[in-house]
Amino acid sequence: MSQARIEHVNLTVSDLDSSIALFEKLCGWHVRIRDIHGVRGEFAHVGGEDTYLALWADGADYSGQQKGKPLNHVGIEVADLAVAERVVLDAGLKTFSHGKYEPGPRTFYFFDWDGIEFEVVSYA
């Protein structure tokens, strides 16, 4: 049996356009598909050829959700941590918990508009 990998992570967001724009700029990803959801709302798959974020929006405001209930964070690896942080800040979001794990990556964290926490990691 081959090693398993995560193909996608499905996240509920309140503003689909803002979330798409953030991940296009932060990760260099593109919209693979965007359509009306069969039950309610709208969805988009944003990513590369092999992996993506499935973003779903039903028009509700999720900004009051509590971290870690049930998702702790989503990790995104980037080539240039400083460029990635500039993209996040330019989107009007705040970064925190900058660190370096020995002997591994440098990191920072941010919450998007819906309270979803992301860890941005660079091994460069």
Distance, first Cα to last Cα, the chain: 32
What is the CATH classification number for the domain harbouring 98? 3.10.180.10
Please check whether residue 52 lies inside any domain of the structure: yes
pTM above 0.95, yes or no: no
User: Rounded to an integer, what distance in angstroms lies between the CA atom of residue 59 and that of residue 80?
Assistant: 33
Establish if 69 belongs to a structural domain: yes
In a domain, 43, yes or no: yes
Q: Looking at the 3D structure of the chain, how many domains does it have?
A: 1
What secondary structure, in 3-state letters, does the chain show?
Answer: CCCCCCCEEEEECCCHHHHHHHHHHHHCCEEEEEEECCCCCEEEEEECCCCEEEEEECCCCCCCCCCCCCCCCEEEECCCHHHHHHHHHHCCCCEEEEEECCCCCEEEEEECCCCCEEEEEECC
Domain that holds residue 98: 8-122
pLDDT at 24 over 90: yes
> For residue range 43-88, what is the model confidence (pLDDT) as tens digits?
999 999 889 999 988 877 777 666 666 677 899 999 999 999 999 9
Place of tokens 């998007």: 112
Q: Is residue 62 situated within a structural domain?
A: yes
The answer to whether position 2 is within a domain reads no
Residue 1 lies in a domain: no
In a domain, 17, yes or no: yes
Q: Residue 85: inside a domain, yes or no?
A: yes
